[in-house]
Structure 1
Amino acid sequence: MKRIISIVLMAGLSTAACIGDSPYDPQAQCGTPTNLTFEKVSNTLSWNMNTMGEGYYEVQYGEQGFTLGKGTTVVTYKNSYSLPLYQNNKYDLYVRKNCGIDNGRSNWAGPITVLAGNTTTCVQPAYATYTKTTSSALSSTFDAAVSWDNDGVSAYETVLTISSAPPASGQLAMTGQKAVYTGLSKTQTYNFFVRKRCADNTFSTFYGPYPIKWN
């Protein structure tokens, strides 16, 4: 009897999860971004900030008419992103909010179809964030995993230093990878720098210094 009741309850929950305005629907807990706008000079897509829960935004773009799911996806923690587009080409742009495991992803907003005003294939990274871990509270060291705005295509060079001056060069981090640093001193403040490698093997200017520390 208990097993039958459990099955009935689970079926009820599964049915509720299919209803768009149900509290069980993860998309109902993560509001869809609104007011998508495009600035042609910098090829920047922006939208209204969704304050419902923590998380980040996923922007997907491609040539006009592309099928959603087959475009290029980039991630940002801001409510805007300067896209690597080519001048006078038309693109479709989408954005959605990722509210985390508990609240899921929102529906996609868009598309909006835009005409790129300039070629912006070598844009300086504009954001970085990091997570930190340690083996124990008594340890004198910690590890940091750093991520940044990534266009999903390019390679980047990263540097971690105690200096605040932009470095001359960095270590290559391939597309989509994070920069992971281990054995960092909990009493030291470090500075992170990242730059984009462009299609012609030149580089953008470095983003940074971005401070990384234990406390």
Structure 2
Amino acid sequence: MKKITLLLAVSLLIFGCSSDDSPNEENQQNSCALPVNLSVQNLTNTTASFNWDVSISSSLYQVEYGTFGFSQGSGITLTVPDTYTSVQNLQPQTQYSFYTRVFCNESQTYSNWAGPFSFVTLDSNPFCEDPTNFTEDVYPDSITHNKIDLYWSSPSSGGSEIQYGVQGFNLGSGTTQIEPDFYDQSASINNLNSETTYDFYVRNVCEDSGFSSWVGPVSITTLNEPSNPNCIDPFNFTSTSSGTNSDGSKYFDFTWDYESSQNSWEIAIVEAGTAFNTSSVTATSFSPVRVSYGGVTSGQAYDFYIRSNCGGTNGFSDWVGPITVTAQ
């Protein structure tokens, strides 16, 4: 009986010492002062700098931030060595909040959280100019069945970002392509689907100053997939004028776009409404071109088709058309 009593007394003594010497986490958190004077500086449309003051010496802090009203524990948490930190990739015109706490050297745990401090990001970035003149590139082969070339002005020293997706996609869910060179004011977007309309956006990257606003969308549709990938179809086949030559024959002026490597084409003419045939084909190495025909009747409508001649084993493209023109 004496042994049992002695063992119980020793156990109580050990438990009591352990409780006195190791305060629980809540007591530890309350053992040092919270950060104060929370503020935001250098605010842009996508970046912000968080600042705060402390009354104790420490070299370790935690910050948690998220959109306004977020539940603590569900935000983004950063551990930093100073009483300030910068965050990026925020959304424009969006309300955010942040909390911060300090590591207490004496108790070897963090203080309670201070905050929230709330703020709203700007609509645009006063320190980062927006790109301008965003459009498809000016070259004839800027659009193919699987590639689109883009162009813009006013690039930034930090380069640019392009985001794209099938028409109607939401910004943030698309594919991002980075153009890091200041001198690059154009980009080729490859591996696209044929006969598909895409939306494109661009923004400048201004290094420590964040990003410009997104500019766009520019909506562009890829071309049909060619049956002969070695000889791409001409596109944007257009009649620009027609009339009568001095000898009474009729002329028709055409223009079209084409792959930069192509330099030879064939144009076929049939009476409008009749089946396509190649009984009257004119070869040309010029675009634009004027084609003249004898025996063509004024007031009669004609259908015109065009195809590329890529030579050798590359063969011909598909016939493209018709476009219908009435002889003058």
What TM-score does the superposition give when structure 2 sets the normalisation length? Answer: 0.32
More strand by share: 2
Larger Rg: 2
What TM-score does the superposition give when structure 1 sets the normalisation length? Answer: 0.47
